Amino acid sequence: MNNVEPKIFTLSKAGAVLGAKISQLLNGQLIGLQSRVSDADILTTSIGDEIRKAFKAGHPIIAVMASGALIRILGPLLNDKHNEPAVIAISEDGASVVPLLGGHHGANDLAKKIADLTSGHAAITTAGDLRFGIALDHPPKGYVLANPENAKDVMAALLAGEKAKLVGVSDWIENSKIELSDSGKVRLIIADKKVETSALDLVYYRENLMLGMGCERGAETSEAIELVEQILNENNLSPNQLAGLYSIDVKADETALHEVADYFKIPVRFFKAETLEREAPRLKNPSEYVFNEVGCHGVAEGAALAAAGQNSDLIIPKEKSKRVTLAIAKKSDGQVPNMQETENRTMSEKPRKRGKLFVVGIGPGQETWRSPEVSRMIGEATDLVGYSLYLDLIAQISEGKVRHDFDLGKEEDRVRHSMELAGEGKDVALVCSGDAGIYAMATLVFELLKNGGLSDAANRIEIVVSPGISALQAAAARAGAPLGHDFCTISLSDLLTPWDAIKMRVKAAAEGDFVIAFYNPVSKRRRTQLAYAKNVLLEHRPKDTPVILATNLGRPEEKVRVVPLEELNIDDVDMLTVVVVGSSETQTVKTGDGKTWVYTPRGYSAKVGTNINSKGETKI
């Protein structure tokens, strides 16, 4: 099974009980149909849409539902068996566990694991698994099948009675039920070098080569990829043997290194200079210049050796192109480096991945207004940082993640903490209400980068900002279309902006006849700013200009009112209210149900061929 979070789906209360047990077993996320299920991590109005979304994102899918329904939901998406995730259908009583897709991508193993939990039957139908006890197109961890296109013909031959010749040493094949013979027409090859193959050959490479790389700042990705391919070809090595790319931590934000890793589909990790310097006695090409620059005598060779660990050798000493260096190390016994050996290293010695900071806006708080991208990022994060109320609003999708709660007023501490966590190699979601870039934390992230004071690691993190529905957008949608023409937003809080600057902006917006959304309109101590704005606006637009007062948007206590500007009462506004004041062109219209809608014409009446006159009336 891959490392992507499993998604468990259910259509009923009984299915939710079973789904919760499976979710706990697999550390997955339980998604239930809102009309029938009350207790799940996520409740949805369309289980089919959620299943298709999870399938496209590569999540293993475990559905407590009829297999026929699951097949119909996913049918239009089925086109590539080599890239499909595991898909399993389970009966409500857990008696039948059926891997429908991705049997060799973890579905069969998952089915067996779930069946053990439910005391049910894993209905595995994959011929190779049943006959031979192994899946030749899904080798164990540490091995890569180089030619999966041959797997179908090889399996057919073996099922027809053909024997197999094992070339090399492999316990997992030797311990299977495959009949082995030196005269077998099928060849199962465990290779250390590139080999020529025929139609009945399957070639497996051990992922036991550690690629160390260094480069000048801003080196071209194409140069780096070309150097790796050149050195592999010259030494008759396969890219499938690469287990990972390693470098020094000051290169954690080097684009070329990350794109090389993506190109070869391998992880990329970074060591501290002190760790690389411990490899100095084993370097073939130590450099005083490199030591003076970064604190170790060799980046490429040192990183490769540090990654391969003890009892490893440099099989390819440092090679260099114009701006890139590489070296390759391998365990002396040719096996995959012992992961326990890596885990036993102290924290300072372990290689780290580049940390990632997701700056996300969760909207006003309700799940249906949160974007799928934001939900995905929260799902990928290991740590969540934010104001406690905001973290509470996403509790249903954040189980098992480390929370870092902060009070209001601790904005800089909150952002700095999230960036330093990411600097430690963690994937962190900095959670904001509304949109992260509108009066929220995204701007502070970049201020801290600009002004300094962060650790070197925090300065090298990957940053991704995802939009959310802002209070401005939510208020406008609830009231109609007040933002149909030019608009602006002004915060009336003078905590971070001088009051004189705020007054200037209010006056300019009034004179410019913008629709204005006022954020932070009042507080316990501030009761005069909104009154000032009202008086200025009355000098520039009609007394009956519509004003929208939107409170607790997206929550059960939501309240949206529309009042004339002249009748705006400051005591009707609190800090949870967004105030949207129309322009001189903003109008209202009542529908048959008695609801008043607010809209600002964009000027379609002036467009040739329109049937609307200048008053907004339909021409007859």
Which domains can be identified in the chain, with CATH numbers? 7-125 (3.40.50.11220), 143-206 (no CATH), 209-343 (3.30.420.180), 356-469 (3.40.1010.10), 472-605 (3.30.950.10)
Summarize pLDDT for 231-266 with one digit per residue, the tens: 999 999 999 999 999 999 999 999 999 999 999 999
pLDDT of residue 331: 81
pLDDT of residue 496: 84
pLDDT of residue 602: 87
Region 46-71 average pLDDT: 91
Residue 121 burial (CB count, 10 A):
14
Rounded to whole angstroms, the Cα distance separating 587 from 583 reads 9
Q: Where does the pLDDT of residue 122 fall: very low under 50, low under 70, confident under 90, or very high at 90 and above?
A: confident
Q: Where does the pLDDT of residue 379 fall: very low under 50, low under 70, confident under 90, or very high at 90 and above?
A: confident
Q: Where does the pLDDT of residue 393 fall: very low under 50, low under 70, confident under 90, or very high at 90 and above?
A: confident
pLDDT of residue 566: 96
127 has pLDDT over 70: no
Q: Which of 97, 87, 178, 189 is nearest to 130 (CA)?
A: 178
pLDDT of residue 620: 47
pLDDT of residue 416: 96
Q: Where does the pLDDT of residue 589 fall: very low under 50, low under 70, confident under 90, or very high at 90 and above?
A: very high
Neighbouring residues of 51: CB distance < 8 A, sequence distance ≥ 6? 7, 9, 61, 63, 70, 73, 74
pLDDT of residue 615: 56
| 3-class DSSP string for 228-261 | HHHHHHHCCCCHHHEEEEEEEHHHCCCHHHHHHH
Token digits for 161? 């009675």
Mean predicted lDDT score pLDDT of the chain: 89
Summarize pLDDT for 184-241 with one digit per residue, the tens: 999 999 999 998 889 999 999 999 999 999 999 999 999 999 999 999 999 999 999 9
Q: Where does the pLDDT of residue 397 fall: very low under 50, low under 70, confident under 90, or very high at 90 and above?
A: confident
Residue 490 burial (CB count, 10 A):
22
Percentage of residues in the chain having pLDDT higher than 70: 92
Q: Where does the pLDDT of residue 438 fall: very low under 50, low under 70, confident under 90, or very high at 90 and above?
A: very high
Residue 265 burial (CB count, 10 A):
10
618 has pLDDT over 70: no
Q: Is 259 exposed, middle or buried (0-12, 13-18, 19+ CB in 10 A)?
A: middle
Q: Is 45 exposed, middle or buried (0-12, 13-18, 19+ CB in 10 A)?
A: exposed
Summarize pLDDT for 159-171 with one digit per residue, the tens: 889 999 999 998 8
Q: Where does the pLDDT of residue 79 fall: very low under 50, low under 70, confident under 90, or very high at 90 and above?
A: confident
Residues 24, 27, 33, 35, Cα dihedral to 10°: 50
Rounded to whole angstroms, the Cα distance separating 562 from 152 reads 67
Summarize pLDDT for 440-492 with one digit per residue, the tens: 999 999 999 999 889 999 999 999 999 999 999 999 999 999 999 999 999 99
591 has pLDDT over 90: yes
Q: Where does the pLDDT of residue 48 fall: very low under 50, low under 70, confident under 90, or very high at 90 and above?
A: very high
Region 47-69 average pLDDT: 91
CA torsion through residues 289, 290, 291, 294, sign: positive
3 has pLDDT over 70: no
Rounded to whole angstroms, the Cα distance separating 181 from 234 reads 33
- Give the helix/strand (H/E) hosting 289: helix 288-294
128-153 as b/e, with b when 16 or more CB fall inside 10 Å?
Answer: bbeebebbbbbbeebbbbbbeebbee
Answer yes or no: are the C-beta atoms of 169 and 334 closer than 8 Å.
no
Summarize pLDDT for 272-318 with one digit per residue, the tens: 999 999 999 999 999 999 999 999 999 999 999 999 998 899 999 99
pLDDT of residue 339: 45
**pTM for the whole thing?**
0.78
Percentage of residues in the chain having pLDDT higher than 90: 67
343 has pLDDT over 50: no
347 has pLDDT over 80: no
Rounded to whole angstroms, the Cα distance separating 263 from 281 reads 32
